[in-house]
Structure 1
Amino acid sequence: MNKITLLLGIMLCMATLAEAQDQPAAQDAESLRKRNEADQRVYQMAMRYNDLPVARMKLFELMERNPTNTRYPELLANLYFEAGQFTSAAVSALDLLERNDQSITGLEIAAYSLEQLGALDRALPNFERHYLLTGNLFSLYKTGYMQYSMNRQEEALNSVNMLIKNPKASEEKIGFPTVNNETQEVSLKAAALNLKGMIYMYQKNKPEAIEAIQQALEIDPNFELAKDNLKEAQKM
């Protein structure tokens, strides 16, 4: 009888000890949840009042407290980008991509921020990967244009041909500045054909350049940039 009583006592002590150990863990999880919710509320208020320094500080605190949650660094990178702080945006986006190379937000912000900083060789892989993961045709156009700008003409030609063959390129629009400092929207297909003409102009291939640009103008007859390029091509 005494052995049974002793055994029951040991088991009771063990159960009490386990419960005591679980309580701090549960309390810590609850405390973390409450702190996160409080910081998220402050972040939302800061965004409502356009107080970006406070919003960024709360995101830093949330990132430190929740290192596996990529939503907070995505929001931070976006804040930097929207504020025109392209160096900070690029660095924060690249840090995010080290943790999650599938982050669409990270790829997009890294690509555009690095482009703004003139780092085309670093921006290009992010545009390429963004297109591969999303099928975004504007990213494909940017890929082709950057390849052209970096004198990678055969790669650029391959990119624009992919874009021209895509049926959705006739439906989507892209904006170009005009001489009146306005924005002229044309179809992505017309833009790609114009870029194709520019590539052929660079390669001194006059007939192919004129043909591609004329095809662009058949789609968008008022495309100012294509009109200017056609004049240049005809002078070759």
Structure 2
Amino acid sequence: MKRAVVFMLLILSSGMVFSQTATDSIPKLDPKTKNALNAADQAAFQLAMRYSDRALAKTKLYDLMVRNPEDIRYMEALANIYFEANQSASAALVALDILEINDKNVGAKEIAAYSLEQLGALDRALPQYESLYLLTGDNFSLFKSASLQYNLKRYAEAMNSVEMLIKNAKADEKIGFPKEDGTTQEVSMKAAGFNLKGLIYLDQNSKTEAKAAFSEAISLDPSFEQAKQNLQSSN
């Protein structure tokens, strides 16, 4: 498994992008033939998706991509299929190729960010989350950016992101946290921000500030299990 991830990261660093050059050796089709093949493959793709035959659906998308390298829709559909199947390496590679074509493609950024994070490539996932926040203003992306900055020990950046999150979080915004019993607990985004702020302080041995941050998180969300555990462990 580790070898597969390393291989995937080598591909990521090589900057391989699906483009017109990948199809230079394929004979050119006349427009009528090309349109007929496209229509047949699109119909087969729709049927494959309807009957949950993801393998055939992907095959048809690859045929459409090779025949129509300029049409990004097929790459987007392929990235979504890989993402929904939890095939993080393939999802990340396709999404990154899409971003080489259009670096403001929000869907591709979301897939790239989450998939790279799942693969443990935190330093590659972080710029995607940061860019996603700049494009959308979505506080979830800001929280993920702060979390990855914290995990990468970039504490000054993480604290700056957390302060922005606490300031901008809306009262009705929620985010899920795992509980000890395996369920997921929804807590307010602002409480999540204070909990992360406490962790940043704790990593820097600022226990007084950490306790204050954890206590603030609990006051905002009294049932916040992780914040309670963090407060207890900071004593």
TM-score under structure 1 length normalisation: 0.84
Alignment partner of 1:37 out of 36, 39, 56: 39
1:155 match: 157
Q: Give the Cα–Cα distance (whole angstroms) in 2 for the partners of residues 35 and 137 of structure 1.
A: 43
TM superposition shift of 1:226 = 0.2
Which of 105, 108, 114 aligns to 2:107? It is 105
User: Which 5+ residue runs of structure 2 have no aligned equivalent?
Assistant: 1-28
Q: Distance in 2 between matches of 1:72 and 1:137?
A: 29
Structure 1 letter corresponding to 2:134:
L
Decide which structure has greater helix share: 1
Alpha-carbon displacement from aligned partner over 1:35-67 (angstroms, at most 9, x marks no partner): 322221111110111101110011111111221
State the identity %.
56
Question: Which secondary structure state, in structure 1, belongs to the residue aligned with residue 45 of structure 2?
Answer: helix
Tell me which amino acid in the other structure corresponds to 1:77: A
Partner of 1:93: 95
User: What is the rounded CA distance, in whole Å, between the counterparts of 1:136 and 1:32 in structure 2?
Assistant: 41
1:189-215 Cα shifts (integer Å, max 9, x gaps): 110110001101111112211111111
Match of 1:134 among 129, 133, 136: 136
Q: Which residue of 2 aligns with 1:18?
A: none
How far the C-alpha of 1:97 sits from its partner, in A, is: 1.1
Paired amino acid for 2:212: E
Task: Trace 1:44-193 onto structure 2 (pairs within 5 A).
Answer: 44-168=46-170, 170-193=171-194
Distance 1:142 1:187 in 2: 15
Partner SS, residue 151 of structure 1: coil
Name the amino acid aligned to 2:100: E
What TM-score, normalized by structure 2, do the two folds share? 0.84
Counterpart AA for 1:180: D
The residue type paired with residue 181 of structure 1 is: G
User: Match of 1:146, SS?
Assistant: helix
Q: Which residue in the other structure is 1:205 paired with?
A: 206
The secondary structure found in structure 1 opposite 2:187 is strand
Cα deviation digits, residues 7-28 of structure 1 (max 9, x gap): xxxxxxxxxxxxxxxxxxxx94
Q: Does 1:231 align with 2:232?
A: yes
**For the residues of structure 2 that align with 1:172 and 1:223, how far apart are their CA atoms?**
15
Flag structure 1 segments of 5+ consecutive residues without an equivalent. Answer: 1-26
